[in-house]
Structure 1
Amino acid sequence: MSDASDPPRADEPPVPRTRRAAGESRRAVEPQDSGPHLQAHLRAARSELENQVAQAKADFEEANERIKERTGRDLILAILIALAIGVVLLGSLLFVKWAFVVFALAAALLAVFEFGRALRTSGRRVDVVPQLVAATVVVVSAYFVSSWLLWVVLFVALAFVVVWRLVAQMAAHDGRVYSAVIGDVVIAAFLQLYVAFLAALCVVLLSQERGEWWVLAFIIVAVASDTGAYVAGISFGKHPMAPRISPKKTWEGFAGATLAAILAGVLVGLFMLGLPWWLGAVFGIVILGTATAGDLGESMIKRDLGIKDMSSWLPGHGGVLDRLDSILLSAVGALALYYFFTPLVAS
């Protein structure tokens, strides 16, 4: 290979010096010019990407504001908190079964506390500390004692909170009228039955053979029902379902909840519970009914108390009980279906 400075061979025509100099000049300039051109291209691509990201962010925030205006919920925070709760739930159920008892107890105690505080704000007399003690005993006992003994524990817990309220009222000497005292006693028992006992039934289901899968399955169906109702209600909702109880719930949302619950029920039945598809569909329909009833029941309680949410502890969701309303009552349906379906599948 000859160098550019070597003289031309005899069989090659001589290259003019000026043309050689121009070629060398172009080769020297081209590498220098490619740097600025590449940088300009990268800057343009980055600027276009930033514009697209900014536009997507603006569109998402606009959609989020529309949803927030219609539902009063912050979609971004709601999704993040739901994901965090879901991770903790899955970890407790799939890896350390008894850890779900701690999760259920914490949720039940927070729900009892915020419900008791809401009742006290409305003028009711609620003894929060005794309620928390009784709820702890009921929920924890559900995992360790037999089913019939749990009823004994529940009876003792109810007697404890009722007697405490009566003694506290007698010690107060504040002239509270008889009807108000009776109302306080009924509410004291209702707190235990509504929150602690229903949470305990969920723990009872957990304690059964493969119970962790049944707990996870009914929670998935309840969440799918709630999500289906939310999406369909936001997208198509026009006809109120129960305007006096919950004005934002629509029949279109209920249709979305039905489809989501049945689909989720079939899937969890086939792949988690070992049920035929039609039993999975029945599972979805039953959980749909209990979840809807629980949601409407808690909405009725909040309307009676004159509040929108039980608390603001979970941004984008409301309070803990606002997230448990459909779960608590669904524990009853799931436990009943476990006792009913297990012999059918085993046979």
Structure 2
Amino acid sequence: MSEDAPPVENNASGDAGQAPGEVVGPPLGAAVASAARAGRAGRNLPAAIGVGVGLAALVLVTLFTSKIAFAAVIAAAMGVGIWELVRAIRPVEARPPMIPLVVGGVGTIAITYVSGPEALLLGLLLTVVAVVIWRIPDGPVGFQRDVTAAVLVATYVPFLGGFAVLLEVADDGVMRIIAFIATVACSDIGGYAAGVLAGRHPMAPTVSPKKSWEGMAGSLIACAIGGAAFLELGFDNGAWWEGVIYGLAIAVAATLGDLTESMIKRDLGVKDMSSLLPGHGGLMDRLDSLLFAAPVAYLLLTAFAPPA
């Protein structure tokens, strides 16, 4: 029985010392087992690990086997992210139209894969135009609010995510994607380790109480080391000092992405963007750092290690 199970009512043949009709909670053994399965934040740890491994496997298999398949994974992720964000926004009375946002977001990823950076901006513009046209028949009440929310969604999710496609389409796109994702992971790991071991001074207590300046220092150090290694060893025309700059920039961007989503969730009054991924929350809860870091990774890797 899970820890969220409702209390049960005993009948006349219940345990000794309990009157008929007395309301009791789940058995002690089940409660202990459920607590053991949950992480420190109340997450289901085995489920979280299983989902994480599954997502990592999907990314790695498609990345190393087919560029089109990996781009399709990005497009699907952007579609799900848009769906989650629109659903989270609607309870605060904004009504960004779902269909043109999802279709436009997925289409933006598709045309970016085919045509490059100019198509990414074109996709954003076409999505906004589609949103405006879709929203006009509903009348003027709330028009500005709904369109503004839709522009935020279109920019935050598919536009930023499109830079990952631009990383992938290069001849050495596999290495660029690995350098991008792994450096963001360095930020998470370094920040978590330093925060747990030495975190004393909150960075933004009203937005994300668990983030500390010590954790930020850990992210910067880990990303600087990881970035230096990737630029020196992973690219023929990269240098370690450029990798340090790259890593520091990724650490800042990833942290800003995390804080931005935390602020959005607090403003919306939600803990997670959805419950789609057991033990993780929503897909957007896993994409926040990556989305902000993607354009930084694309611009700096293009500058420091230009594609052949």
Distance 1:150 1:328 in 2: 14
Whichever structure has more helix as a proportion of its residues is 1
Runs (4 or more) in structure 1 with deviation over 6 Å come to none
Identify if the C-alpha distance between structure 1 residues 78 and 230 changes in structure 2 by more than 3 Å, giving closer, same or farther: farther
The one of 83, 90, 115 aligned to 1:145: 115
Matches within 5 A, 1:1-347: 68-69=39-40, 71-169=41-139, 176=141, 180-274=142-236, 275-343=238-306
The letter for the 2-side match of 1:321 is M
Distance 2:179 2:96 in 1: 35
Deviation at 1:168, TM superposition (A): 2.7
TM-score, normalised relative to structure 1:
0.73
Deviation at 1:90, TM superposition (A): 1.3
TM-score, normalised relative to structure 2:
0.82
SS at match of 1:241: strand
Q: How many residues align?
A: 274
Distance 2:114 2:192 in 1: 37
Rg larger in 1 or in 2?
A: 1
| Two-structure CA RMSD over aligned residues (Å) | 2.2
Q: Tell me the alpha carbon deviations over residues 212-265 of structure 1, each in whole angstroms, 9 at most, x when there is no partner.
A: 211221111111211222233233323211011111111222122222212221
Identify if the C-alpha distance between structure 1 residues 79 and 184 changes in structure 2 by more than 3 Å, giving closer, same or farther: same
What is the percentage of aligned positions where both structures have the same residue? 38
Distance 2:285 2:228 in 1: 26
The letter for the 2-side match of 1:158 is V
The letter for the 1-side match of 2:293 is S
Distance 1:236 1:76 in 2: 27
Identify if the C-alpha distance between structure 1 residues 149 and 104 changes in structure 2 by more than 3 Å, giving closer, same or farther: closer
Are the equivalent residues in 1 in contact too, given 2:228–2:244 (CA < 8 A)? Answer: yes
Identify if the C-alpha distance between structure 1 residues 73 and 263 changes in structure 2 by more than 3 Å, giving closer, same or farther: farther
Identify if the C-alpha distance between structure 1 residues 151 and 105 changes in structure 2 by more than 3 Å, giving closer, same or farther: same
Identify if the C-alpha distance between structure 1 residues 316 and 256 changes in structure 2 by more than 3 Å, giving closer, same or farther: farther
Identify if the C-alpha distance between structure 1 residues 149 and 131 changes in structure 2 by more than 3 Å, giving closer, same or farther: closer
* Residue segments in structure 2 that go unaligned for 5+ positions in a row: 1-31
Identify if the C-alpha distance between structure 1 residues 257 and 103 changes in structure 2 by more than 3 Å, giving closer, same or farther: same
Deviation at 1:305, TM superposition (A): 0.6
Are the equivalent residues in 1 in contact too, given 2:199–2:215 (CA < 8 A)? Answer: yes
Q: Tell me the alpha carbon deviations over residues 53-109 of structure 1, each in whole angstroms, 9 at most, x when there is no partner.
A: xxxxx9xx86x76xx34x444444333322221121111112212211011011111
Deviation at 1:163, TM superposition (A): 2.4
The letter for the 1-side match of 2:70 is F
Are the equivalent residues in 2 in contact too, given 1:309–1:319 (CA < 8 A)? Answer: yes
Distance 1:124 1:253 in 2: 35
Deviation at 1:211, TM superposition (A): 2.0
Are the equivalent residues in 1 in contact too, given 2:108–2:119 (CA < 8 A)? Answer: no
The letter for the 2-side match of 1:97 is K
Q: Tell me the alpha carbon deviations over residues 252-287 of structure 1, each in whole angstroms, 9 at most, x when there is no partner.
A: 221222222122212222332342222222221111
Are the equivalent residues in 1 in contact too, given 2:80–2:283 (CA < 8 A)? Answer: yes
Are the equivalent residues in 2 in contact too, given 1:165–1:188 (CA < 8 A)? Answer: no
